[in-house]
């Protein structure tokens, strides 16, 4: 489609596109978002394309902190804008600015780790934020222009009591829900990946293999335990929630030279079922110096639907296909969180080039 006008016109045709997308099963990964923030500087959000023709609106943006990407949308925190959050469709270029309701401030700027004033000066938020499509009956193969939700899940301390709070914004009503609060010892990891099943958001906890569950429809919070199964507890590091694989929660951890993966069934109300474990040898997939080095190798992202996991190493960022098991270096930097952007893109949102430009 990037190099052939006739092919681009065919895959963009309204009569062909739905069948093509249905046959694909899942949108392709067009690229991934990651952040850079030099000491004392502002946030810079980067987009690295992995497809031949990247989305039109995908480029580096200053004063934007990428928080999440799902269902063809990307969520940013924009501390130097009049709006707190920005939701973007990187293919069509549509964007929506969102101001947080004052009742959400205790979620966004928790006093659990630092004073609120310090967090604002550092342009930092302490909650876990997720964006998700809110269109009824959508299969999320080609989400564009429909309603969406932004869910915030965070922790705070009130006196000697630890609290979890959550609220959700609806683009349909342009309003925030009331804050749901519950007393819990599980502290939300504001920098971790979230997962979404239906209207339920799963947020990881800090230094704890448990997950806080927020049902955005019923406005309820609960906690489930991650499926930790190891013979030697000291050899197994903290499990990282990656996202969804085949409708189940996916957890990952690396104990060189192996990648451990767990999947857990999760229902719309947060109930967890059985789990299974897989072990993948990293020796054939990563350079020997990386595996011999004492520094950590960790999973920092997962592309849902195409089963590609991102591994952070001291020499750069690698992608690994879980099946059949192929590794590839995609970036030289040291990236702590990768947010894959999944969507269909054929160039239908821009004029087709002349034949001598194709």
CATH code of residue 82 = 2.120.10.30
> Where in the sequence is the domain holding 65, given as residue range(s)?
7-229+237-342
User: Which of 35-49, 98-112, 188-202, 224-238 reaches the highest mean pLDDT?
Assistant: 188-202
User: Which of 39-43, 44-48, 203-207, 285-289 reaches the highest mean pLDDT?
Assistant: 44-48
Both tokens assigned to 240: 């990282």
Q: Write the pLDDT tens digit of every residue in 293-333.
A: 767 889 999 999 899 999 999 889 999 998 777 888 999 98
User: In whole angstroms, how large is the CA radius of gyration of the chain?
Assistant: 20
Please tell me which residue, 22 or 259, carries the higher pLDDT value.
Answer: 259
Would residue 352 count as lying in a domain? Answer: no
> What pLDDT does 208 receive?
73
> What pLDDT does 149 receive?
97
> What pLDDT does 31 receive?
93
Would residue 356 count as lying in a domain? Answer: no
- How does strand 326-331 pair with strand 195-197? unpaired
Residue 169: is its pLDDT beyond 70?
yes
Would residue 109 count as lying in a domain? Answer: yes
Both tokens assigned to 168: 């959700």
Taking residues 37-49, report their average pLDDT: 83
Would residue 213 count as lying in a domain? Answer: yes
Sheet containing strand 95-98, edge to edge, reads 65-70, 73-77, 85-88, 95-98
Mean pLDDT, the chain, rounded, equals 83
Taking residues 279-298, report their average pLDDT: 82
Evaluate if pTM is beyond 0.95. no
Which of the four pLDDT bands, split at 50, 70 and 90, describes residue 117? Answer: very low
Would residue 279 count as lying in a domain? Answer: yes
Residue with tokens 């990952």: 252
Residue with tokens 């067009």: 30
Would residue 292 count as lying in a domain? Answer: yes
User: Would you call the peptide bond into 325 cis, given omega within 30 degrees of 0 as the criterion?
Assistant: no
Which of the four pLDDT bands, split at 50, 70 and 90, describes residue 167? Answer: very high
Would residue 277 count as lying in a domain? Answer: yes
Q: What is the 8-class DSSP label of residue 304? A: T
> What pLDDT does 266 receive?
75
Please tell me which residue, 168 or 295, carries the higher pLDDT value.
Answer: 168
> What pLDDT does 268 receive?
56
CB 104 within 8 A of CB 128: no
User: Would you call the peptide bond into 324 cis, given omega within 30 degrees of 0 as the criterion?
Assistant: yes
Taking residues 35-64, report their average pLDDT: 80
Would residue 354 count as lying in a domain? Answer: no
Number of domains in the chain: 1
Taking residues 219-246, report their average pLDDT: 75
Residue closest to 204 by CA, chosen among 230, 242, 237, 235? 242
> What pLDDT does 11 receive?
74
Cα 161–Cα 268–Cα 99 angle in degrees, nearest 5:
60
Q: What percent of the chain has pLDDT over 70?
A: 84
Taking residues 2-22, report their average pLDDT: 75
> What pLDDT does 271 receive?
58
């Amino acid at each position: 489609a990037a190099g052939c006008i006739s092919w681009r016109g065919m895959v963009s045709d309204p009569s062909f596109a739905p069948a093509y997308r249905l046959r694909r099963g899942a949108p392709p990964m067009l690229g991934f978002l990651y952040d850079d923030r030099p000491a004392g500087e502002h946030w810079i959000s980067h987009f690295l394309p992995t497809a031949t023709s990247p989305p039109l609106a995908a480029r580096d943006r200053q004063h934007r902190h990428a928080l999440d990407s799902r269902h063809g949308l990307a969520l940013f925190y924009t501390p130097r804008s009049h709006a707190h959050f920005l939701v973007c469709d990187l293919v069509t270029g549509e964007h929506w600015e969102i101001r947080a309701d004052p009742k959400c401030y205790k979620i966004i700027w928790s006093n659990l780790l630092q004073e609120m004033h310090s967090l604002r000066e550092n342009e930092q938020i302490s909650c876990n934020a997720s964006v998700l499509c809110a269109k009824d009956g959508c299969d999320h193969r080609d989400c564009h222009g429909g309603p969406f939700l932004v869910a915030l899940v965070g922790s705070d301390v009130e006196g000697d009591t630890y609290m979890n709070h959550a609220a959700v914004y609806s683009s349909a009503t342009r309003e925030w829900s009331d804050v749901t609060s519950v007393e819990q010892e599980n502290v939300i990891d504001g920098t971790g990946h979230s997962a979404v099943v239906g209207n339920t958001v799963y947020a990881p906890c800090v230094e704890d293999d448990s997950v806080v569950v927020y049902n955005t429809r019923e406005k309820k919070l609960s906690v489930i335990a991650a499926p930790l199964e190891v013979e030697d507890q000291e050899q197994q590091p903290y499990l990282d929630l990656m996202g969804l694989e085949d409708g189940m929660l996916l957890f990952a951890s690396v104990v060189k030279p192996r990648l451990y993966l767990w999947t857990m069934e999760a229902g719309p109300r947060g109930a967890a079922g059985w789990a299974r474990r897989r072990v993948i040898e990293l020796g054939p997939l990563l350079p020997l110096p990386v595996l011999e080095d004492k520094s950590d190798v960790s999973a920092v992202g997962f592309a849902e639907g195409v089963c590609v996991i991102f591994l952070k190493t001291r020499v750069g960022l690698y992608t690994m296909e879980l099946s059949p098991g192929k590794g590839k270096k995609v970036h030289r930097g040291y990236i702590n969180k990768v947010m894959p952007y999944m969507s269909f893109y054929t160039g239908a949102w821009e004029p087709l080039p002349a034949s001598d430009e194709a």
